[in-house]
Structure 1
Amino acid sequence: MKYNLEKGSHTVYALQYHFVTVTKYRSDILIDEIAERLGEIASDIAADFNVNIQNVNGGSDHVHILFTAEPTTELTKFINSLKGVSSRKIRDEYPETRQALDDAFWQPGYFLATTGQVSIDVLMDYVEDQ
């Protein structure tokens, strides 16, 4: 099996994640300049957590973020910071979003999944052969 590996002082790892969150009321807010600004904010926050954003994309009412992280990354703190800071900054920089969304920018929940570099079937076969 071939992985794209990262290295720490005592670890070798490949931790990749797919994060999705939705705007409050599924409002069509993430368009043009606001969507671009969200990507910039996400990258700034990621740097504070030693997270590497691979891609940011989505629709007008949701965002998908692919990122890699270290084994010591506190994912819930990163995600809460990402949602909280982006909400505050976008609502401050684009006052029109406050009218559409009242007191919150994002829905309370989110989706987070690990993404593998190989399929689960390949991994199962590999482990079986060991």
Structure 2
Amino acid sequence: MIEAVIQYIPFVHYICCVKYRRKFLTPEISEYLKKVNQDIAGKFGVQIIEQETDRDHIHIIFASKPEVQLSKFINSLKSTSARLIFRDHPEIKKELWGGNFWSPSYFLSTVGEVKLEDVKKYVQSQGNP
């Protein structure tokens, strides 16, 4: 799979937390979120290498072509996933009184190919217990 994304380098590691670090990412919502993220990534021409959630945050490793504006991609990930989660799980919206699912901040860092396997293992270890 890595050979297919070499044209996309750099690899990017993204982390975002649920607002107020609420533990809403159940296995059901997590799987739904991963599918939504794959759809969004496809529309941007971004390839998701690995993604996993813990109860209150998500890690994604992705590869992006240089012409993709990462801020627009991340904004789309956050806004679309939040809108769909709130639509399908209205009980969550009631507990997030500010109206946002995701915290406004996020972590984004490039990942060197040498360290990619280590980062993938770390992301995989974030799975819901």
Q: Indicate the TM-score class for this superposition, using the shorter chain for normalisation.
A: 0.7 to 0.9
Structure having the higher helix fraction is: 2
Percent identity between matched residues is 40
TM-score (norm 1): 0.81
The number of aligned residues is 112
CA distance in 1, matches of 2:53, 2:39: 19
Gap regions ≥5 residues in structure 2: 116-129
Amino acid at match of 1:93: D
> How many Å apart are 1:118 and its aligned residue?
2.5
> How many Å apart are 1:15 and its aligned residue?
1.3
Q: Is residue 96 of structure 2 the alignment partner of residue 101 of structure 1? A: yes
Aligned equivalent of 1:110, options 106, 109, 116? 106
Q: Deviations over 1:36-91 (max 9, x none)?
A: 10000100100110000111112100000110010111100000000000000001
3-state DSSP of counterpart to 2:35: helix
- Aligned partner of 2:122 in structure 1 is none
- Aligned partner of 1:32 in structure 2 is 27
Gap regions ≥5 residues in structure 1: 8-12, 120-130
- Aligned partner of 2:15 in structure 1 is 20
Aligned equivalent of 2:73, options 70, 75, 78? 78
Q: What value does the CA root-mean-square deviation take over the aligned residues? A: 1.5
